Amino acid sequence: MTVIAERSTQTDALADERWQAICNNDPAWEDAFVFGVRTTGVYCRTTCRGAAVLRKNIEFFDEIAEARAAGYRPCKRCRPDEGGPHSRAVNVVTQACDLIDATPDELLTVAALARHIGVTDHALRRSFDVILGITPRQYAEQRRLERFKDDVRNGHDVTSALYNSGYGSSSRLYESSDAHLGMTPGQYRKGGVGISINYAIVDSPLGRLLVAGTDKGVCRISLADDDESLEVALRKEFPLAEQAKDSGPLSEWIEIVARVVSGEPSDIDTGLPLDVRGTAFQRRVWEALRRIPRGETRTYSQIAEDIGQPTATRAVANACGKNPTPVVVPCHRVVRTDGGLGGYALGIERKQKLLSREGALE
Ligand SMILES: [Zn+2]
C-alpha cells in the first residue's frame, strides 16, 4: 500500500512538471515526452504553439510509439515525429555556423546557406532569430571581426589582419561593423539622419495599421483610426530619416505583422526582424514581454521581478509605453496588480480587444 501511494505521488509530481513545461512551451522538455490531446486526437511536443489545451484533456507519453498506439495522430503544426522544432532549429543553426566558419573568405548569402542545408531562406532566418537572436549575416560579421581582433592581438599589423580575416579593404571593416549595429544609437538620437525608412498603411481589425522598416527590420508598428495621424507620428519619431511610402521592400514583414494584428494564433512573428533602439533596460523589458504566452497576462511588478529589478515597476510601465512595435511585442499583456487594464499607447479599447481575443479576459 505504502509503495503504491509513494509511486502515485511521484507520478503526480512528474505530471505537474510536464504540465508546466507545456504551459511555458519549454524547449528543455521538448524531447522528454509527447502529449496527446483527447479533444483533437493529435499529439504534440512542449514547444507546440498550437491552440491552448486544458490539462484535463491531455495524456502524457514517454514515447511517440505509445501515443500512436493509443490512437493519436502527429500534430501538423509541431510535427513531433521530426524531432521538436527547437531541436530542428538548433540543427539548422549549427550547420549554417559550421559553413560560415569554414568559408572565412566569403560572406555566404542567406540564400546560399539555405540551399546548402536544404531549408528555405525563411526557415534559416527564423532559426537564427529564435536560437541566437541575430541574423546569419550578423553571425558571419561577428566571426570575421573576432578573427580580425585575434590577429591584431597576436601581433599582426592591421593591414595583414584585415586580409587574413577576410576583409577586402579597410573601409569594408568600418562598413560592416556599422552594419552589424543596425540603426546606430547616434543615428536614432539624431532623428534617423542617414537612414531610409519605408512604410505602408493597411487595414486591420484594430484600425489602420502602419508598418515601417529600415533595411534591417521593422522599426515601428502603429494603429490609429486615420492615416494622417499615423504619418504625422512617424515623421515626429524620425524627422530626419528619408521616408518613402512604399510597401515593396517590406511586403514580407507587413504580411507577418498584419497576420499577428489580425489575431492569428501562431508563431509566425518569430522570424520578423526588428530594428528598434532602446536603452538596455527597455530592451530587457521588451524581451520579457515576448515571453508572456498568448492568453495570459502579467502585472508590471511581475515583469520587474522577471528582469531582476523588482522595485522598477514604474520604469517597466514606462518601457511598455515606449514599445515601438506593439502587438508583435505584446505590451498589451501587462496589466495592473489590482486587475485594472493599465495604460496602452494605442488606446485602452484596443488593449481590451486584444486581450479578450486572446482569451485573457475571463
Ligand atoms: Zn503540436
Q: What percent of the chain has pLDDT over 90?
A: 28
How confident is the prediction for the chain on average, in pLDDT?
A: 82
Check pLDDT > 60 for residue 25: yes
**In CATH terms, are 85-181 and 280-352 the same topology?**
yes
Pick the CATH number of 85-181 from 1.10.10.60, 3.40.630.10, 3.20.20.70, 3.30.360.10: 1.10.10.60
Tell me how far apart the alpha carbons of residues 216 and 249 are, in angstroms, rounded to a whole number. 11
**192-195 CB contacts, 8 Å cutoff, 24+ apart:** 192/237, 192/238, 192/239, 192/240, 192/241, 193/240, 193/241, 194/240, 194/241, 195/238, 195/241, 195/242
Q: Could you confirm whether 48 is annotated as catalytic?
A: no
Q: What Rg, from alpha-carbon coordinates, does the chain have? A: 23
Mean pLDDT is lowest, of 30-39, 98-107, 203-212, 241-250, for 98-107
C-beta of residue 228 within 8 angstroms of C-beta of residue 182: no
pLDDT average, residue stretch 98-117: 84
Tell me how far apart the alpha carbons of residues 267 and 43 are, in angstroms, rounded to a whole number. 18
Tell me how far apart the alpha carbons of residues 121 and 174 are, in angstroms, rounded to a whole number. 27
- Pick the catalytic residue from 23, 44, 48, 97: 44
Domain boundaries, the chain: 2-82, 85-181, 196-271, 280-352
Q: Could you confirm whether 320 is annotated as catalytic?
A: no
pLDDT at position 362, please?
Answer: 65
CATH 1.10.10.10 is held by the domain 280-352 = yes
Question: Which position has the higher pLDDT, 49 or 111?
Answer: 111
Check pLDDT > 50 for residue 4: no
- From the CA of 29, how far away is ligand 1's center (Å)? 14
Residues 6+ apart with CB under 8 A from 91: 83
- From the CA of 289, how far away is ligand 1's center (Å)? 23
Check pLDDT > 60 for residue 3: no
Check pLDDT > 80 for residue 148: no
- Pick the catalytic residue from 48, 97, 320, 331: 331
Q: What percent of the chain has pLDDT over 70?
A: 84
pLDDT at position 302, please?
Answer: 94
Topology classification of domain 196-271: Double Stranded RNA Binding Domain (3.30.160)
Confidence of residue 57 (pLDDT cuts 50, 70, 90): very high
Confidence of residue 290 (pLDDT cuts 50, 70, 90): confident
What is each CA distance from 313 to 115, 202, 282, 292, 299, in whole angstroms?
Answer: 47, 35, 12, 17, 9
Residues 6+ apart with CB under 8 A from 129: 135, 270, 271, 273
pLDDT average, residue stretch 276-281: 76
Task: Classify 130 as helix, strand or coil.
Answer: helix
Beta-bridge mates of residue 34: 61
pLDDT at position 188, please?
Answer: 52
Give the closest residue to 70 by CA, choosing from 79, 80, 78, 61: 61
- From the CA of 73, how far away is ligand 1's center (Å)? 10
E strand or H helix that includes residue 61: strand 58-61
pLDDT at position 103, please?
Answer: 78
Confidence of residue 29 (pLDDT cuts 50, 70, 90): confident
C-beta of residue 342 within 8 angstroms of C-beta of residue 331: no
pLDDT at position 167, please?
Answer: 64
- From the CA of 222, how far away is ligand 1's center (Å)? 31
Using the 8-state DSSP alphabet, how is residue 242 labeled? E
Question: Which position has the higher pLDDT, 92 or 159?
Answer: 92
Question: Which position has the higher pLDDT, 4 or 45?
Answer: 45
- From the CA of 246, how far away is ligand 1's center (Å)? 37
Residues 6+ apart with CB under 8 A from 47: 25, 26, 27, 30, 78, 84, 85, 86
- From the CA of 35, how far away is ligand 1's center (Å)? 9
C-beta of residue 37 within 8 angstroms of C-beta of residue 65: no
Which CATH homologous superfamily contains domain 2-82?
Answer: DNA Methylphosphotriester Repair Domain (3.40.10.10)
Check pLDDT > 90 for residue 61: yes
Task: Classify 300 as helix, strand or coil.
Answer: helix
Mean pLDDT is lowest, of 71-75, 82-86, 321-325, 357-361, for 82-86
Give the closest residue to 15 by CA, choosing from 72, 58, 65, 70: 58
Neighbours of 277 (CB within 10 A): 17
171 burial (CB, 10 Å; 0-12 / 13-18 / 19+) is exposed
39-73 b/e with 16+ CB inside 10 Å = b?
Answer: eeebbbbbbbbbeebeeeebebbeebebbbeeebe
- From the CA of 23, how far away is ligand 1's center (Å)? 13
Check pLDDT > 50 for residue 214: yes
Mean pLDDT is lowest, of 91-100, 208-217, 240-249, for 240-249
Give the closest residue to 331 by CA, choosing from 175, 202, 222: 222
Confidence of residue 6 (pLDDT cuts 50, 70, 90): very low
- Measured in degrees and rounded to the nearest 5, phi and psi for residue 92 equal -65, -45
